[in-house]
Amino acid sequence: MADLYMYLIISAVIFTIGSYGIITQRSGIKILMCIELMLNSANLNLVAFSSFNDNASGQVFALFSIAIAAAEAAIGFAILVALFRVRDTINLDNINILRW
């Protein structure tokens, strides 16, 4: 069934873009956005398999995942905003006080 492969390929592309962004980007906002991309590619997989198998539990998991992603994004952005107020930057290279 060619449809499933289409979804999986799109999902893989999105995941790769996300992970590339995480590795290359230095801005906290961008990294968070890339994480969202990766999460959504996983969601896409879940929904695709769910539809493929005629089983609704995958879609339920996707909903869970979206909820958690929302929470995570909220906390992540809150931290970044707080950091920006203190350090005037969200460039992760400069936020290294916990590094050895």
Selection from 99, 83, 86, 71 nearest residue 29 by Cα: 83
Choices 1-9, 52-60, 66-74, 89-97; region in contact with another protein by CB under 8 A: 89-97
Q: Is 23 in the site for another protein (CB under 8 A)?
A: yes
From the list 34, 36, 48, the residue with the least C-alpha distance to 6 is 48
Site for another protein contains 24 (CB under 8 A): yes
Residues numbered 25-54 forming contacts with another protein, rule: CB under 8 A? 25-26
Task: Kindly tell me which of 54 and 93 has the beta carbon lying closer to another protein.
Answer: 93
- Residue 41 is encoded by which pair of tokens? 């590619």
Task: Name residues whose C-beta falls within 8 Å of residue 5's C-beta, 6 or more positions apart in sequence.
Answer: none
* C-alpha span between 58 and 50 (Å, rounded): 5
Contact region with another protein (CB under 8 A), list: 46-54, 68-76, 80-88, 90-98: 90-98
Q: Which residue, 24 or 53, is less far from another protein as judged by CB? A: 24
